[in-house]
Every structure is written in structure tokens, then in C-alpha cells.
Amino acid sequence: MEMPHNASASSGNLSMVPLRRILPGMLRDPARALIDVGNRTGGAVVRLNLGSFRPYLVTHPKHVQHVLRDRAENYERAGDGLFWRPIKRLFGEGILGEGQIWSASRKMLQPMFTAKRIEALIDGMAEAITDAVDELGEPSRAGRTVDIGVEQARIVSRAIMRVLFGDKISVPDAMRVIKAQDVIARAVIPRIVVPFAPLSMPMPGDRPFRRAVRIVDDVLVPIVRETRAVAEDGDDIISTLWRARTDDGRQLDERQVRNDTVAMFAATTETTINVLTWLWPHLDEHPDVAERLYAEIDRVVGGEPVRREHLGQLTYTRMVLDELLRLYPIGWIIPRRAVAADVIDGVPVEAGATVVASPLITQRMAQFWDRPDEFDPDRFTPEQIRTRHRYAHYPFGGGPHQCLGMYLFYLEAQLILATMLSRYRFRLRRSGVPGLRLAAALRPRERVELTLLSSPSTAG
């Protein structure tokens, strides 16, 4: 019998966090309640008492590395677990699953997301983003307030539908899917908060969830079917999935192509839209950061269209993105199921137990970050990064399940920021950073609305 492994950071005595200590805060402000639990643990492995459901919580970067990377084969992404069971009703088996189906999907899709391929898409992506940002000229000249979340969704859709989906999905259709994704992200929260409730038991959000999934399928399934006949000629995600073969030589069935299409649509749009929506209120609250960002973009880009060669020089822009990802990580909760018994920092973990890591918690813990709730891009200078544990900042997850689209996110987000901020300054309709709303992704509680003003370099 294999002996359990051990990940050690300090010393390991398991403590139980009782329900009475968690519940009031979870009802008031679940994001803050989770961060507070992390700060109280001091980085130790703890067990959360959520009634009949009692997951282990790992917050120390060494423990996170143990679960997500060093012993990843022992901690599987369980389809019936805390997070995946409600989400799986949308995505099904495939790239967001586990085991052989996940491995096959990732193997098929990985070539679409290599650094070499993504860099080859930069020019097309930059052109699409420029075209989409051009459409902001009219509301800017009219002094009209825009919902920047909606506008960023339109810009991202224009770029991603062109370079990854071969314009098979129109921008209006993509916007319908994004709107449905937003409904789904809110609708699954009751089931994530009460993970032990059976799917047969009605919960708030179930009806809007089903309606939204129907919209996603109404848009994407016909496109998946039509693409099958022309897949040999396509260089897009859906064609790639239809051309792929499993290890035993079989073509994927329509259900798996649909599942992976839905998953990749969400992964390549939602991340950029959500993270960039948080940028504007933080820049408003930190004019010093805004001025440094404007100065860098004006110096590197000037009045030209943003090009491939500009991106490597946008170092402060990258730091701003990393700080946004620290505060608003992509997958804010990462549950795993222990396949075999293990030991983490002296704490025995039994086979079948749920172990939860959370970038939202670790990346806002005072033990690992100075002034953790403050927005400060200077945390991400090369010198600061070298002094930190790799898993103190893991907004895209880690190990074999790390998000395929990470490199794409950075290039696309830099292109969008550089294009928008080389042309516009802005004025928020309501000042202040919105509260944090837990959903499948971290969303602002209120819409971020602003007026776009011509930048000094383009005004005259």
C-alpha cells in the first residue's frame, strides 16, 4: 500500500471552523467571510463545518502547491463535488471534467493555445479590437454614459469570435451567450453555498439556469452541427474539435464537441470581460496608478494602432493586470477530491474527502501580502515576484489543470487596455469600487458605468 505523502509549512494540528462562526458572515458578505476564515487560520489546514459537508480548506501556498501540482494525481476535479456538480449541468464532460475525457479534450485543444499560435493571432486580434473600440467614438462624442461591462463584452466578442471561432459565431449571437452566462453565474450560487443539496431538490436559481442553458444551446448547437461538414477546412476551435480523434481513433460525438465549445467560449470571453470591468473603479480611486498607466501607453503606443511589438514594452500594464487578478482571480474556488488518503502538514486527509483551495482567500491573506485589500500594482515588480512563493498568486489555478487561456488573456487584455487608454480618459458615473458579488466568477455588485473622454493625445 502506498504511504500518504506529506506537505509541510508549519506544524499540523487540525482545527474545525464551526458553522456558527461561518454562517452569519456568509449570509452578509460571503467573499469577506471566506477571506476572514483564511486570515484566522494563519495558513494552517482547517476543516469547515458546513453541516453534513465538511471540506478541508488549504490556504498556505505550500499546501496549495501540494494539492494542485505535487500530488495532483491524488486530487481530482470531481464531477459531483462542491463546485463542479452545478457547473457540470452547463459544461458536461470534456475539458472541464476529469480523467480520460478531460485528458483527451486538453490534448486536442492545447495546440490552439501555445504561445507560438497565440502570438500569430495578435495582429488579427488587434485589428478586431481596434474596430470594436472605434464604435465607442459615437457615445464618447455625445457624452453618453456606457455600461463598460457590456462594451467590453462586445469588444472581447469581436476579437475572440474572429481569431478563435473563425467568425462562425456572430457578435450579436456571442452577446446573447455572454448574457446567458451571466445569468448562469448567478444562478449556480445557491447550489455552491449549499453543496450537499441533491439536484432533485428545487433551489433558487434553477429555473433561470435552465432557461439560460437553453439559450446557450439554441445559439451554439446549430453552429456545432453545421461546422462538422466543413471541419477539414477550418482553423477554429469547433473545427479542431471535429477533426480530433481519441486515442483509439474515434471522432468525438456531438455532445462532447458541444461541451468543449461551450467551455472554451466561456473561458475565452468571461475572464477578460470580468477582470477588466474592475479596472475602471480602481483607476478612479488611484489617480497615481492611472497616470503611470496612461504615461506608459502614451509613450509606447502614442497615437498609432496597437501592434505586436508594443506589447513587450507595456510592463506596467502587465503589473496592473496581475494586481487585478490578485484581487479578482479567475477561479475563486478550486475544490478537489482526495483519491487516496494523504497527509498535508501533519493533517491526515481521508480518501474521498473534499479539499478546497481558494485564490480569493490566499491572495488576500495578510500573512502572505502586505496591505492585502489595497490595490497596488508595484507588488508585481520582478524583484517582488522573486521573493514570493509561486502559489501565493495563482489566479489561473495550477498544475495540470491550469487554465489553457492564460497567455491569451494577458495578450488580449493588454491589447484592449492599450487601445482604449491611448484614445480615452473616463469619468465614472458613481465613484468607489463596487462590492464583490460571488458568482461562478467574481462580479461587481453594481454595474460600472462611465463616460469616455478624448485623451489629450487624441483631442487635438
**Cell numbers for 137:** 467614438
Average pLDDT on 4-16 reads: 58
pLDDT at 2: 38
C-alpha cell at 227: 461546422
pLDDT reported for residue 256:
87
Between CA 122 and CA 407 the distance in angstroms is: 12
**Parallel/antiparallel/unpaired status of strands 436-438 and 15-17:** unpaired
Least confident of 63-77, 248-262, 356-370: 248-262
In terms of pLDDT, which residue wins out, 112 or 217? Answer: 217
Residue 93 has pLDDT above 60, yes or no: no
Q: Give me the percent of the chain exceeding a pLDDT of 90.
A: 58
In the predicted model, is pLDDT for residue 406 greater than 70?
yes
Tens of pLDDT, residues 69-87: 999 999 987 644 555 555 6
Summarize pLDDT for 173-187 with one digit per residue, the tens.
999 999 998 888 888
Single-letter residue type at 409: F
For residues 379 and 37, what is the distance between their CA atoms, to the nearest angstrom? Answer: 24
Which residue blocks in 312-355 are alpha helix, DSSP H?
315-327
Q: What is the mean pLDDT of residues 100-126?
A: 78
Confidence band (pLDDT; 50, 70, 90) for 281? very high
SS3 444: strand
Over residues 244-266, mean pLDDT: 85
- Cα–Cα distances (Å) from 275 to 280, 281, 324, 363, 421, in that order, read 10, 12, 7, 15, 16
How far, in Å, CA of 140 to CA of 325, rounded? 28
Cβ within 8 Å of residue 142, ≥6 positions away: none
Which amino acid, 119? Answer: E
User: Which residues, in sequence order, are CB contacts of 190 under 8 Å at separation 6+?
Assistant: 203, 204, 205
Domain 6-459: give its CATH superfamily.
Answer: Cytochrome P450 (1.10.630.10)
Measure the CA–CA gap between 274 and 266, rounded to whole angstroms.
11
In sequence order, which ranges of 143-253 are alpha helices (DSSP H)?
148-163, 171-187, 189-193, 206-228, 237-243
The answer on pLDDT for 387 being more than 60 is yes
CA angle (453, 430, 318) in 5-degree steps: 60
37 Cβ contact partners less than 8 Å away, ≥ 6 residues apart: 17, 22, 46, 48, 57, 361
C-alpha cell of residue 395:
489566479
CA–CA gap between residue 332 and residue 160 (Å, rounded): 23
**pLDDT band at residue 116 using 50, 70 and 90 as cut-offs:** confident
pLDDT for position 90: 57
Helices (H), 229-339: 237-243, 254-285, 287-300, 308-311, 315-327
Cα 113 to Cα 8, 160, 261, distances in angstroms: 34, 13, 14
CA distance 12 to 348: 9
Euclidean distance between CA atoms 424 and 410, whole angstroms: 21
Averaged pLDDT of the chain? 86
Please measure the distance between the N-terminal and C-terminal CA atoms of the chain and give it in whole angstroms: 75
Lowest mean pLDDT among 16-25, 345-354, 392-401, 418-427: 16-25
What burial letters (b/e) apply to 85-123, b meaning 16+ CB within 10 Å? bbbbbbbbbbbbbbeebbebbbebbeebbeeeebeebbe
107 φψ region: left (φ > 0), alpha (ψ -120 to 50), beta (else): alpha
Strand ordering across the sheet containing 342-344: 6-7, 342-344, 347-349
Q: Read out DSSP for 111-139? A: GGGSHHHHHHTHHHHHHHHHHHHHTTHHH
One-letter amino acid of 267: A
Query: Is the model's pLDDT at 460 over the cut of 50?
Result: no
pLDDT value at position 83?
55
Domains of the chain: which residue ranges? 6-459
Task: Output the pTM of the full model.
Answer: 0.89
CA 23/CA 8 separation, integer angstroms:
29
